Structure 1
């Protein structure tokens, strides 16, 4: 298991969430690419935090990343309750300008790996239109796992070679949690991209195949209610029982341990 570099963070039920803002993230991206010093980035939302409480392997995987950004207002809220607030919610969709606008400005090379066949390619076409000059140097779908839920070694070796041959400065890996964290951790020593970012279904949003939250929903911090309304059958348990359990555990943790320093 790769060990993350230390930095200011808050413990959210065992998951180390990074206390960083957008300017600091931009600086870390620039430094990693200029120095060719690898930087790994993943994201924590309440669902992942609760899963990591039950699964020590997942918790260790998430904590092995250099930056673990707050994906969701539930994580932002928990950090504030624990007395060590993070500046803001920082999901992939909130950072499109940082990952792709900055890449276009700086001439960085980007590789999109993950999601269903054709999605990364469609995302790349949109990104080239939205950010003229951005260099998307490769795309590859992420449907390679076998019946065990893991990518076979031979296939993983081929994918690593393909990615490295494209010489990206930033590699986005959208395989879903925990497969994307497993892939990055297992192959970090062989991947040559200075910046590696896990991104779940992000390419679906970039390809405009999955509707993202309207701006007013984000301003009111009601993304969970919007998703529940849009797809109640699939989301009701996550945003009622599981979310309620998460909030209770956060409050109980605060009562037992007090504020963090």
Structure 2
């Protein structure tokens, strides 16, 4: 398709952030629209999909996959099918919150730790007062608690469900519970975006973003949650991704 480019078997959208937001806006405002599952995929997730059969299945069933990483943009350029810009989970979340503030949409936030979740929602309420908070819950719940959380989301019927449990866990969790959450209009994972909104993690300075070095800023300055891989270990996927895409070309 002209609006997509396939990188290591993953069909990435060529839509800009503005176009992606407009697409989601149209879907939310369509009363007949079902659940729209968007995945924000970076080189690490793309590489993981090569050996993770379930992840490939999830990617294949998603409605849209956006390029959350400069490595994806560079790989597309090498293939001669350029992507205009990155569409990160953080930027897309802010864009949808701004749109939701105008439309009066409701959001449910699931993930990160309890304190960060509370502080992030407080900040969102201050910045986007017309956004309705349908609910929130931290991401360190047990299997016994999971059914109550799903029931809470179903009863809240948010237009947008935001998952902040890390990738690919967020997408795998949704895939497992997709049938029970059909009332949600749009759902996607945002990684550590709530940590940034809450103030727990500082956003990379403009110069780092301009040089496409946000990954380096996170590597050097962002804390890693208990139970997660170290950032140094995760970044080891980058040279592997570059090698794979160059060989494939």
Q: If the length of structure 2 is used for normalisation, what is the TM-score?
A: 0.88
The equivalent position to 1:185 in structure 2, one of 152, 175, 180, is 175
Counterpart-to-counterpart distance in 2, 1:204 and 1:7: 35
Question: Cα–Cα, structure 1 residues 114 and 225, in superposed 2: closer, same or farther, change >3 Å?
Answer: closer
Verify: 1:206 aligned to 2:203, yes or no. Answer: no
Aligned to 1:133: 130
Number of paired residues? 241
1:7 touches 1:18 (CA, 8 Å); kept in 2? no
The 3 A distance-change label for structure 1 pair 237 and 157 is: closer
- SS of 2:50's partner is helix
Q: Distance in 1 between matches of 2:196 and 2:219?
A: 18
For 1:1-261, list aligned pairs within 5 A: 8-36=3-31, 37=33, 38-145=35-142, 152=143, 154-191=144-181, 192-230=183-221, 234-239=230-235, 241-254=236-249
Over 3 Å counting, the alpha-carbon distance change for 1:189 and 1:242 in structure 2 is closer
Give the distance between the partners of 2:231 and 2:169, measured in 1 at CA: 22
Contact 2:90 2:190 in 1 (8 A): no
Give the direction of change, closer, same or farther, for the CA distance of 1:79–1:128 in structure 2 (3 Å limit).
Answer: same
TM-superposition CA deviations, 1:192-246 (whole Å, max 9, x none): 111111122221111111222112111111123323443799444444x432221
The aligned residue for residue 227 of structure 2 is none
Cα distance, 1:11 vs. partner? 1.4
**Alignment RMSD (CA, Å):** 2.2
Q: Where do 5+ consecutive residues of structure 1 fail to align? A: 1-5, 146-151, 255-261
Alpha-carbon offset, residue 155 of structure 1: 3.4
Write out per-residue CA displacement over residues 106-133 of structure 1, whole angstroms, 9 at most, x where no aligned residue.
1101111111123222111101112232
Question: Hey, what does 1:148 align to over in structure 2?
Answer: none
Q: 1:217 to 1:104 in 2, by over 3 A?
A: same
Alpha-carbon separation, structure 1, partners of 2:59 and 2:132: 29
Whether contact under 8 Å (1:42, 1:199) holds in the other structure is no
Cα deviation digits, residues 77-134 of structure 1 (max 9, x gap)? 1111122222211112222432211100011011111111232221111011122322
SS of the counterpart of 1:118? Answer: helix
Question: In structure 1, what is the Cα distance between the partners aligned to 2:187 and 2:232?
Answer: 33
Could you tell me the TM-score, scaled by structure 1's length?
0.84
Q: Secondary structure at the residue paired with 1:190? A: helix
1:3-38 per-residue CA deviation (whole Å, 9 max, x = no partner) reads xxx883221112221221123212221222122412
